[in-house]
Amino acid sequence: MVTNKGKKISGGRYIKQRKKKKYEITGQRTITKLGNTKRKTIKTRGGNKKTILLMEKFVNINGKRIEIKNVLETPSNKFLARQNIITKGTIVDTQLGKVKITNRPTQEGILNGVLFK
């Protein structure tokens, strides 16, 4: 049984045949914060474009734009709420009450939500 994983019998190491291709490289994580609206458009595979939401102060609820007062809770990570970072499932405080974000803002470029009871 060989114990030197990734090494040749002579002790030399195996060298990778190629570098990672563009689609294999992981991108930098984008976050949506609470603030004045700011969007960014990036190119994706196949010549398409994706709009990323970087900052937003309004959320769409039943076709109405409602202003966000504060980020209350983020179920996926409690530290994101402290930094006012908005993700899918985040509960935010608005004039109408608590609202749960129902979409992924970094993928769609917009904030949608439903009233949370």
pLDDT the model gives residue 1 = 58
Q: Which of helix, strand or coil describes residue 98?
A: strand
Assign a CATH topology to domain 29-115: 3.10.290
pLDDT the model gives residue 2 = 53
Q: What is the DSSP string of 35-84?
A: SS-EEEEEE-TTS-EEEEEEEESEEEETTEEEEEEEEEE-TT-HHHHHTT
Q: Which residues of the chain have pLDDT under 70?
A: 1-3
State the chain's mean pLDDT as an integer: 90
Query: What residue ranges do the domains of the chain occupy?
Result: 29-115
Q: What is the DSSP string of 16-42?
A: -SSPPPGGGSPPPPP-EEESS-EEEEE
pLDDT the model gives residue 24 = 86
106 and 53 Cβ atoms separated by less than 8 Å: yes
pLDDT the model gives residue 74 = 93
